Each structure stands twice: as C-alpha cells, then as structure tokens.
C-alpha cells in the first residue's frame, strides 16, 4: 500500500503491513482499541502527519529519511508498549501541528511544502517543548536504534555510518578451542 509523505509517495511493504495487522490484532486481544490494520495506536491521518514531522528531524539526503527507515512504525509500536505514557502527548502534539499548519498555511501538514513543514516543527520546538523533545528523541531512536523494534529498516543508519550488521566477528564465525 502507499501513503503520501512530504509530497512523495512512500511504499509500505507487505511485510510491514502484515506485521502491523498482527500487532493490531494482539492489541485488540489485550483490550486495546485498534484504529485500523496498519498501525496499533496512530490513526492513518496521524501517521502521515507524524511521518512529515519525523522527516524534518531526519530528512532524506543520500540516505533515507526517518519515515523511509520505518521510524513511524517504530514510534507507533512503542506507543502501545513502553511509551504508553506518551500517548496523550503524541495525540495532542500531532493535533497541534495539524491545526497550526491549516491556520498558517491553509494546508494539512502532509500537503504543505517542506519549508512549511519545517516551520511547523520549529513552532513545536518553541511552543510545545515536551512533545518536540519526544518527537526528536523517538525519531532518533527509531532511526539509529536496533532494527528489531520496527525502525532502522535494513539497518540503513548503521550502513550510513559504515557499520556492518551483523558484524563480521560473530557467533557464526566464532570458534573456541582450549588449545588455540
């Protein structure tokens, strides 16, 4: 499937989609509300807004942007787990960004220009410090942290930094003998 992000169309792979569904099913079984099959906490509108904001924190250059590396999925997953306590802050912060963008630029965050999106993030940095710091922190975690949590897809940030994944030295290559 495809979602629009920063004026571009970004593909969401089948694996991601299925993974999201499975997770949503798990959340539903645990008594949580599932908004749709793609995300466990975020609504589709919130997800595209968040993608645009994250991509200002870590934009695309020679290497993928935050959302291209799976950061939205990372944040969404964690908001149903360790970051449950930040759910309200994200919901309110995303709504604040959206209403600011519409009021100031006459356009939703996702359809505003990159310069306007940058202005929206700067507004958050000034006016909603708590949400901005959460946004920055979780975006960095999703981009530079372990791929196992849904972000850093294909270890893209580690490759950007010239780090192999997994490292050459590793269990598969490791031999141990009492008499080396």
Minimum separation from the CB atom of position 177 to other proteins (A): 7
Secondary structure of residue 179 in the 3-state scheme: coil
Question: Do the Cβ atoms of 108 and 101 come closer than 8 Å?
Answer: yes
Closer CB to other proteins, residue 1 or residue 122?
122
Place of tokens 């360790």: 82
Distances in Å between the alpha carbon of 114 and those of 106, 118, 133, 156? Answer: 14, 6, 20, 23
- Identify residues 6-35 at the interface with other proteins (CB under 8 A): none
Does residue 160 touch other proteins according to CB under 8 A? Answer: yes
Question: Do the Cβ atoms of 53 and 119 come closer than 8 Å?
Answer: no
Buried b (16+ CB within 10 A) or exposed e, 104-129: ebeebbbbbeeebbebbbebbeeebe
Minimum separation from the CB atom of position 69 to other proteins (A): 11
- Identify residues 100-129 at the interface with other proteins (CB under 8 A): 118
Phi and psi, residue 9, nearest 5°: -105, 125
- Write the interaction track for other proteins spanning residues 42-71; mark x where CB under 8 A is met and - where it is not: --------------xxxx-x-x--------
Closer CB to other proteins, residue 37 or residue 145?
145
Does residue 89 touch other proteins according to CB under 8 A? Answer: no
Chain residues binding other proteins by CB under 8 A are: 56-59, 61, 63, 78, 81-82, 118, 136-137, 139-141, 144-146, 148-149, 157-158, 160-164, 167, 169-171, 174, 176-178, 180
């Amino acid at each position: 499937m495809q979602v629009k992000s920063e004026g571009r169309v970004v593909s969401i792979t089948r694996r991601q989609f299925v993974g999201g569904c499975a997770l949503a099913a798990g959340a539903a079984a645990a008594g949580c509300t599932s908004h749709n099959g793609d995300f466990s906490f975020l609504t589709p509108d919130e997800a595209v807004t968040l993608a645009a904001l994250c991509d200002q924190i870590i934009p695309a250059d020679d290497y993928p942007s935050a959302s291209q590396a799976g950061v939205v999925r990372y944040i969404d997953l964690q908001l149903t787990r360790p970051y449950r306590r930040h759910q309200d802050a994200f919901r309110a912060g995303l709504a604040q960004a959206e209403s600011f963008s519409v009021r100031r630029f006459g356009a939703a965050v996702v359809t505003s220009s990159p310069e306007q999106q940058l202005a929206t993030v700067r507004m958050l940095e000034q006016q909603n410090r708590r949400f901005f710091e959460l946004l920055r922190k979780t975006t960095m975690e999703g981009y530079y942290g372990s791929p196992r949590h849904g972000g850093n897809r294909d270890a893209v940030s580690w490759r950007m930094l010239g780090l192999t994944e997994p490292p050459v030295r590793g269990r598969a290559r490791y031999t141990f003998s009492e008499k080396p």
